[in-house]
């Protein structure tokens, strides 16, 4: 697998992501220059190591400036791990996370703590559509 000179924009759309698929994708992502990464409707029932895969991709691709997820439902704790990776990656790096997008991604809605983790993950722009936030959480 070779990405060439240009950075990639990778969107995994409507593909199940069991661990065997994530293992193959992980190798390809480590060899690539990924600028933007997203998953839409992965359709895989948990548990799997999707959060570990995303964290590894963020750490191994220092040029990533955009991450987006739509209908990828993980626990609040798994999303916290991902936000921590974004925050840690931005410390001392030259590129900044420009966009973090989490649409319809939280079991039973986004928790106060997960919301705080996302909003303090150093992304310039955050999008949180369809996550069941109450007005109390948004304030």
The SS3 assignment for 36 reads strand
Residue from 20, 88, 94, 13 nearest 53 by CA:
20
% of the chain at pLDDT higher than 90: 17
User: Rounded CA gap, 139 and 116, in Å?
Assistant: 11
> How large is the angle between the packed helices 19-30 and 50-60, nearest 10 degrees?
0
Count CB atoms within 10 A of the CB of residue 38. Answer: 17
Q: What is the mean pLDDT of residues 23-51?
A: 83
Strands (E), the chain: 8-13, 34-40, 66-70, 99-103, 125-127
What does the alpha-carbon distance between residue 68 and residue 91 come to, in Å, rounded to a whole number? Answer: 20
**pLDDT digits 0-9 by tens, 52-105:** 999 999 888 888 889 999 998 888 888 889 988 888 876 666 567 888 999 998
């Amino acid at each position: 697998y070779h990405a060439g000179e240009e950075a990639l924009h990778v969107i995994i759309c409507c593909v199940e992501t069991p661990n065997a698929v994530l293992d193959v994708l992980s190798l390809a992502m480590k060899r690539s220059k990924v600028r933007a990464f997203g998953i839409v409707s992965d359709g895989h029932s948990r548990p799997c190591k999707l959060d570990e895969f995303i964290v590894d991709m963020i750490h191994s691709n220092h040029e990533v400036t955009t991450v987006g997820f739509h209908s990828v439902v993980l626990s609040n704790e798994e999303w916290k791990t991902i936000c921590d990776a974004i925050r840690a990656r931005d410390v001392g790096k030259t590129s900044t996370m420009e966009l973090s997008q989490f649409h319809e991604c939280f079991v039973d809605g986004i928790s106060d703590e997960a919301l705080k983790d996302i909003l303090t993950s150093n992304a310039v722009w955050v999008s949180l559509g369809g996550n069941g936030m109450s007005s109390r959480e948004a304030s």
